[in-house]
Amino acid sequence: MLANQSANYYRGQKIANVPKGPGIYAWYFKPRLADWGAISAQLPRLLDSNVQIETSASLRYGMQLRSSASAKLYYQSERRELSDTIDDLETAERDMVVKFLTDDSFLTFSRPLYIGIAKSLSQRVYDQHYSSLMKYWDDGSEVNRYMQAEPGASVEQLTAALGLKRSFALEARARGIAPGDLLVYAYPTTEFVEAIKEDSDGDDEGMRRSLERVLHLLADPICGRR
């Protein structure tokens, strides 16, 4: 990463040092350990999407025919699942992937997991996101107990089963992303931020939503609004 930008990246307990003022932030997946076994198990959960196809047909007299079904993503011209593509990598290719993912240069090429705008970076990033994710991994957490019983559960299943609101922390837990494998970039700025409301879990309307929608369309974050 560029030397003048490195101070804006935070990992682990250093996330508590994110500035308190307003700004823009982005979360990234950055493995701590150069371990192919852990990385190869993580990538399918990180990149695969839970796709639900819904169709409807208008019939006579205002009647409608509706159907809903789950869909699975296939990649490349061979129409292969992502896990198959990863498993087929040779040793030298696996070593290259591990080295790339654990190198600082990876962040230059990587899609973010999530992008957001905050009135207080520290409150949003540490108090709401990171601390919540830590709690979701705790042995006593109902989210962690559910994921242990249903390891392949999606964030949609989690929200439905436990009555929780969808959030970045909840989706990161559903995708199996450990807190230590997260890196956040915090960019303090007053531009575009003064007009938004105070940070709260329920603040999802107005100026913040419009600005974040543009950022998500441009960067296509993995856990963002699509």
Amino acid at the residue 42: Q
8 Å CB contact between 40 and 192: no
Tokens of 183: 């890196």
Q: What is the pTM of this model?
A: 0.82
From the centroid of its chain, how far is CA 65? 34
Q: Between the ranges 16-30, 40-54, 190-204, where is the mean pLDDT highest?
A: 16-30
Report which DSSP code applies to 179.
G
Pick from 16-20, 28-32, 191-195: least confident: 191-195
From the centroid of its chain, how far is CA 4? 26
Looking at residue 77, its pLDDT comes to: 67
* Domain layout of the chain by residue ranges: 6-30+110-219
Looking at residue 186, its pLDDT comes to: 95
Taking phi over 0 as left and psi of -120 to 50 as alpha, with beta for the rest, 33 belongs to beta
Structure confidence at residue 50 as a pLDDT band (50, 70, 90): low
Q: At 54, is the secondary structure helix, strand, or coil?
A: strand
Q: Which residues, listed in sequence order, are joined to residue 49 by a DSSP beta bridge?
A: none
Tokens of 191: 């531009």
Q: What is the mean pLDDT of residues 72-91?
A: 81
Q: Distance between CA 223 and CA 226 in Å, rounded?
A: 9
Considering only residues 87 and 48, tell me which one the structure prediction assigns the higher pLDDT: 87
Q: Which tens digits make up the pLDDT trace of 104-128?
A: 899 989 999 999 888 899 999 999 9
Q: What is the mean pLDDT of residues 32-53?
A: 86
The residue with tokens 């701590």 is 32
Q: At 187, is the secondary structure helix, strand, or coil?
A: strand
Q: What is the mean pLDDT of residues 171-185?
A: 94
